[in-house]
Structure 1
Amino acid sequence: MSKVTGKNAYALIHNNGLNLLWLILMLTSASFGIVSLVIMILAVGDVQILSWSIGYILTSGTNDVVRTPSIVITVICAVVFVLCICKNKIIRAVVKD
């Protein structure tokens, strides 16, 4: 019975469709994470152009209004990226041998 689950884990790890989804998720989380990290650094550094552009257009506020959502998005994207990196270990943990 354990050989069957081992084959299932191997099949899931080497499934091209599933790997494509993991790759898209990883690239998306990295892209959004980098953009939100740059926005967070600009907000923490109190760069005035940030509040004039993003803060004013989106929230009619200042850097303080932009800082918290960018921190939250950066953390979420980092967690998703780490989960994508650990894909094989997650699949092996879910499909027990």
Structure 2
Amino acid sequence: MDAAWVGRRVYGSEPGDPVGPVEGHAYVQLLGGPLDGLLLDVTGWTPRQVEGGALLMSDHGVYGPGGRSDYEPAEPDAGGDGGRYVWRGDSP
């Protein structure tokens, strides 16, 4: 697990859930948009699903409650691991 992720909020976590990432789970970091800085748990996702990105519920996007925010995999940089999704926009 990336040490920089310890204590970070995980998308979809509920009150009473562990704070931050759980050991043994796989995560991607959400960059930009209304969910910026959250981690998305992709444990159990196939490589194809991970490559497809995610359309996530977001009450803080352009369309308010019930809207969705589109995140797609970021291009890995020279030293990056590709464990990031970049915001591409919101939809109703």
TM-score (norm 1): 0.21
The structure with the larger Rg is: 1
Higher strand proportion: 2
TM-score (norm 2): 0.22
Higher helix proportion: 1
Structure number with higher relative contact order (C-alpha < 8 Å, ≥ 6 residues apart): 1
